[in-house]
Amino acid sequence: MEPPHHRTAGSPESRLVSGIRDSFLVRRISSIMSRHRRPRADASTVATAPADSSSQWRSAEPRQQSWLLPDRWIWLATRAAAERSRRSRFDLFMHRMRPGEHDCVLDVGVGEGAGRTINFFEEWYPWRRRIVAVALEDLPRFRARYPEIRLHVGDGRQLPFAERSFDIWFSNAVIEHVGTAEQQRAFVHEACRVADRVFLSTPNRWFPIDLHTMIPFAHWLPVRARNAVHRVLGQSCWASDQALHLLGLSGIRACVPPGWGMEVNRQRLLGWTVNFNIVLHRH
């Protein structure tokens, strides 16, 4: 038998290998094209605001059901864990912030639609009438689902509210989508300006899998290399620092203004911090 590298193009072995290779390439190209064609994010992710490409929060478009099979498997496999994570986060909020029925809460970065996977805070909070929600655009389905909640369309880095207008400021997985480190600092400083207490949640940059893309390790690379990986793997909607700027603990600390204390609560998986839940309070 000839060595593999001497096989001719017409040999059965060559035809078999070529068929397998071509089939894989076709499937891979189709996979990438499908990722680009389908809606870019579900309601727990973000979309660029029409008037400000640097402001990215939650999408008004729910994820369609025409996912590729691997995506569907990942979603099904992680659905229960994600639900427990949200419940744990909400319980922590209630325990650490101890809101009362007269406290006014500002929720910055709500999404369109209804349900615990989209706006779990609004679903579970017992005094909805005391919530003011902020989004980059009008959300008709949100308004229909939560008619007792006042929705304000605006930018979380520049809010029209007076200082200390709210008792509590809440934001879940938004800070990593507002832009650069400077814009993230502006986001947190604005939270501390308008509220007496702040609760924010964000994924840990140093967890090995980016939970937005489900791609391991790429988010540890320099930004240009990370963006290149995202584009190659069909995740170009995340291929910019404006769309996704993950934070570690030092990056979060750098956002906190003087005169404020910070309490760190970690959600872990196998001992590894997956998510930071941060409580800020005035000294």
Neighbours of 116 (CB within 10 A): 15
Domain boundaries, the chain: 1-37, 43-282
Percent pLDDT > 70 in the chain is 71
Predicted pLDDT at 136 = 95
Residue 173 vs residue 74, higher pLDDT: 173
pLDDT > 80? residue 45: no
- Mean pLDDT estimate for the chain: 80
Residue 241 vs residue 134, higher pLDDT: 134
Terminal CA-to-CA distance of the chain, rounded, Å? Answer: 80
Q: What is the mean pLDDT of residues 85-109?
A: 97
CA atoms within 13 A on the CB side of 97: 28
Q: What is the mean pLDDT of residues 226-230?
A: 95
CATH number of 43-282: 3.40.50.150
SS3 for 85-139 is: HHHHHHHHHHHHHCCCCCCCEEEECCCCCCCHHHHHHHHHCCCHHHEEEEECCCC
Q: pTM for the complete prediction? A: 0.74
What pLDDT band is residue 117 in, cutting at 50, 70 and 90?
A: confident
Residue 142 and residue 57 in contact, taking contact as beta carbons nearer than 8 Å: no
SS3 for the chain is: CCCHHHCCCCCHHHHHHHHHHHHHHHHHHHHHHHHHHCCCCCCCCEEEECCEEEEEEECCCCCCCCCCHHHHHHHHHHHHHHHHHHHHHHHHHHHHHCCCCCCCEEEECCCCCCCHHHHHHHHHCCCHHHEEEEECCCCHHHHHHCCCCEEEECECCECCCCCCCEEEEEEECCHHHCCCHHHHHHHHHHHHHHEEEEEEEEEECCCCEECCCCEECHHHCCHHHHHHHHHHCCCHHHCCCCCCCCECHHHHHHHCCCCEEEEEEEEEECCEEEEEEEEEEEC
CA angle, residues 116, 122, 123, in degrees to nearest 5: 45
